[in-house]
C-alpha cells in the first residue's frame, strides 16, 4: 500500500502544465495588470495630492499656533536666496517669526520654525500673494482670504486646495457638485493658473 501511495505522489510531482493552461494563466495575469496599473497610478497620484495638501495644512497650523503662542508675527513664504519672500510656492516654504513685520527673514533676530520641502517636478503649488503673516491673535495680517492650490502634473481632475480665511482658519476644498473635481465653498474649481 505504501508503494501505491508513493507512485501516485510521484505521478503528481512529474505532471506539469499544459501549453493551454500556461497560456490561460498568462492571459489572466495580463488582464489583471492591464486593469490594475492605471488604477494604481491614479491611486498613487491621489495619495501624493492628499499628502501635499495635508503637509501645507500642517505648515499653516504650525505658523498660526506659533504666532499665538509667541505673541508675535509669524510669516509663511517661499524664501529666495537673499532671504526675502518670493512667489515660487513650488519650492521650499519657510515658517519664521517676523519681528519686523516685513517680507524678509533676519537669521540673527528671528527664528526659523520649520521648512516644507519643494513639490515634485511638474507639480504646481500656487498662492496669489508672496507671503502669509499671522498676527499674535492667530488672524492673518498680510492679506485677505485666498486659495492655495495644488495641481499634480497628471491632470486637473485631481487638483485640490486650501482656503485661508482672514481669521486665519484653513479649510480643505472638496467635490461639492459630484463632478470628480474639487471646488471652493464658492463653487469655483481649483486651478493653478
Domain spanning 19-70+121-172: CATH superfamily? minor pseudopilin epsh domain (3.55.40.10)
Question: Is residue 86 scored above 80 in pLDDT?
Answer: yes
Report the SS3 class of residue 116. strand
What would the pLDDT profile of 128-167 be if each residue is shown by its tens digit? 888 899 999 999 887 667 889 999 988 778 899 999 988 8
Give the pLDDT confidence score for residue 103 in this predicted structure.
Answer: 77
Break the chain into its structural domains and give their ranges.
Answer: 19-70+121-172
Burial class, 141, CB count within 10 angstroms (exposed 0-12 / middle 13-18 / buried 19+): middle
Q: What whole-number distance in Å separates Cα of residue 173 and Cα of residue 189?
A: 9
Give the pLDDT confidence score for residue 55 in this predicted structure.
Answer: 95
Give the pLDDT confidence score for residue 6 in this predicted structure.
Answer: 63
What would the pLDDT profile of 14-59 be if each residue is shown by its tens digit? 666 788 888 999 999 988 888 877 777 888 888 999 999 999 999 9
Give the pLDDT confidence score for residue 61 in this predicted structure.
Answer: 95
Amino acid at each position: 500500500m505504501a508503494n501505491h501511495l508513493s507512485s501516485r505522489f510521484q505521478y503528481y510531482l512529474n505532471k506539469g502544465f499544459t501549453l493551454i493552461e500556461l497560456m490561460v494563466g498568462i492571459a489572466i495575469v495580463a488582464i489583471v495588470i492591464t486593469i490594475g496599473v492605471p488604477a494604481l497610478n491614479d491611486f498613487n497620484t491621489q495619495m501624493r495630492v492628499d499628502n501635499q495638501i495635508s503637509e501645507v495644512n500642517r505648515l499653516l497650523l504650525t505658523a498660526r499656533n506659533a504666532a499665538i503662542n509667541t505673541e508675535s508675527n509669524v510669516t509663511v513664504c517661499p524664501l529666495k536666496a537673499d532671504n526675502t519672500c518670493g512667489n515660487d510656492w513650488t519650492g521650499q516654504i519657510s515658517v519664521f517669526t517676523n519681528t519686523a513685520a516685513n517680507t524678509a527673514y533676519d537669521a540673527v533676530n528671528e527664528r526659523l520654525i520649520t521648512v516644507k520641502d519643494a513639490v515634485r517636478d511638474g507639480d504646481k503649488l500656487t498662492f496669489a500673494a508672496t507671503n502669509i503673516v499671522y498676527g499674535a491673535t492667530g488672524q492673518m495680517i498680510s492679506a485677505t482670504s485666498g486659495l492655495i492650490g495644488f495641481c499634480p502634473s497628471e491632470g486637473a481632475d485631481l487638483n485640490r486646495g486650501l482656503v485661508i480665511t482672514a481669521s486665519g482658519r484653513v479649510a480643505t476644498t472638496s467635490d461639492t457638485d459630484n463632478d470628480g473635481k474639487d471646488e471652493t465653498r464658492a463653487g469655483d474649481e481649483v486651478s493653478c493658473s
